[in-house]
Amino acid sequence: FTTPRCHECRTRQKPALERLRLRLADAIDIVVLDATSHDDLVDRLGILTVPATVVVDGSGVVRQINLGYVDEHALAAQLA
């Protein structure tokens, strides 16, 4: 999750997600959502800050919610 004014989302989280996407290629899908446009989902997941990343498995089960910046190595470990 991001917002239009989130500096850390643009300068740190977005590049980390791009590096993860390049590293894992076709093994993952990355979807970026604007938190200001998805109030119901933000509330349901307990997103309190941005950036926030949600790791969802292939069955649609939420496996991890990260509030704040998380690097590509930590995300890769959560996907393992």
- Residue 49 belongs to domain with CATH number: 3.40.30.10
Q: For residue 32, is it within any domain?
A: yes
- Structure letter (DSSP) for residue 12: I
CA atoms within 13 A on the CB side of 19: 13
Q: For residue 2, is it within any domain?
A: no
DSSP-based three-state secondary structure for 70: coil
Q: For residue 1, is it within any domain?
A: no
For residue 65, is pLDDT > 90? yes
- pLDDT at residue 39 in the model: 95
Mean pLDDT within 18-34: 93
The label of the residue with tokens 């991001």 reads: 2
Exposed/middle/buried for residue 80 (C-beta within 10 Å: 0-12, 13-18, 19+):
exposed
- pLDDT at residue 25 in the model: 84
Mean pLDDT within 34-61: 96
Q: For residue 13, is it within any domain?
A: yes
How many domains does the chain fold into?
1
The whole-chain average pLDDT of the chain stands at 96
User: Which percentage of the chain shows pLDDT scores above 90?
Assistant: 94
Domain that holds residue 71: 7-79
For residue 26, is pLDDT > 90? no
